[in-house]
Amino acid sequence: MMSSPILVVEDEQDLASTCARLLERERWRVVTVGTRAAALAALAGDPRPALAIVDRYLPDGDGLDVLVAGRAAGVPVIVVTAYAPGRTRGLSLEGGATAFLSKPFSTRQLLGVVRGILGEAPIALRSTS
């Protein structure tokens, strides 16, 4: 198990809790926050997160600000959104996001992307042939 947590930045409490449960079931440590300010503080803290999963739209600002801070800290960032996913995907990837997920995303999608970034076999991309 890694010592640095996965940071989940999501203002929808049900989704944040679901993501945390899924990731913890895989034996990852998880920290959840619901605001841009809390995410920026977590990225500046010790230990730094191993990975950040960031909602594009937060109640106190833009999730892309968290992306910029994450990249500056050397933390891979997955951006998620339910709004304007095509536009947000482009902005996110141009801004240095490691991956992008449109809401709603499946358990398989989330775990596949996280495993791929953290160096485990990505189940969502594994060939069945």
Q: Report pLDDT digits (tens) over 44-81.
A: 999 999 999 999 999 999 999 999 999 999 999 999 99
Percent of the chain exceeding pLDDT 90 equals 81
Residue 7 has pLDDT above 50, yes or no: yes
Give the amino acid at 80.
V
Residue 7 pairs with which residues in a beta bridge?
31, 52
> What residue spans define the domains of the chain?
6-115
Longest CA span, the chain = 46
pLDDT band of 15, cuts 50, 70, 90: very high
Residue 127 has pLDDT above 90, yes or no: no
- Structural element, H or E, at residue 112: helix 107-117
**Tokens 């189940």 correspond to what residue?**
123
> Would you give the DSSP letter of residue 48?
P
The answer to whether 52 and 19 have CB atoms below 8 angstroms apart is no
Q: Does domain 6-115 have CATH number 3.20.20.150?
A: no
The pLDDT value given to residue 69 = 97
Residue 125 has pLDDT above 70, yes or no: no
Q: Concatenated DSSP letters for 12-26?
A: -HHHHHHHHHHHHHT
Strands 57-58 and 77-81, how do they pair?
A: unpaired
Half-sphere exposure of 4 (CA within 13 A, CB side): 16
Q: pTM of the entire structure? A: 0.89
**Tokens 């801070």 correspond to what residue?**
69
